Amino acid sequence: MFDFQKLIVYQKAKQFNKDVTVLQKANKLDRTTRDQLRRASFSIMLNIAEGSSRFSNKDRKNFLVISRGSAFECVAIFEYLQEVGEITKEEEKSFYLQLEEISKMLFALIKKLD
């Protein structure tokens, strides 16, 4: 097992990606929004994994910062999708809460590397 696989934040990011996949299969999102959401959600998980391979704290921190930025990007996409009627307020709230938790966990890891 790789070190990143043991991280709870990685596991939560992976579950978030699964939930995004389910949403995308159920909804007819336009291609641009679908692709951007997919890339941003994968970026959260993949940057956690890639950052764990780095030897310096500075490099690890950089990947975690990118991961957290992708979480923020997902929040904006879900807010937009709710406002244009593509998802319900309840769906937006569910994704928001997942992203808020992931963001807080990433922030704690980032601060730990300072």
Per the prediction, the chain carries an average pLDDT of: 97
Locate all alpha helices (DSSP H) within 1-114, ordered by sequence: 8-26, 31-52, 57-83, 89-112
pLDDT of 1-14, one tens digit each? 899 999 999 999 99
User: What is the model's pLDDT at position 11?
Assistant: 98
What domains are defined for the chain?
Answer: 3-112 (1.20.1440.60)
Amino acid at 112: K
User: What is the model's pLDDT at position 37?
Assistant: 98
User: What is the model's pLDDT at position 14?
Assistant: 98
Distance (Å, whole) CA 17 – CA 42 = 7
pLDDT of 18-41, one tens digit each? 999 999 999 889 999 999 999 999
Distance (Å, whole) CA 91 – CA 87 = 6
Q: What are phi and psi of 29, to 5 degrees?
A: -75, 150
Distance (Å, whole) CA 112 – CA 33 = 34
| CA separation, residue 9 to residues 26, 29, 40, 73 (Å) | 26, 27, 16, 17
pLDDT of 29-83, one tens digit each? 999 999 999 999 999 999 999 999 999 999 999 999 999 999 999 999 999 999 9
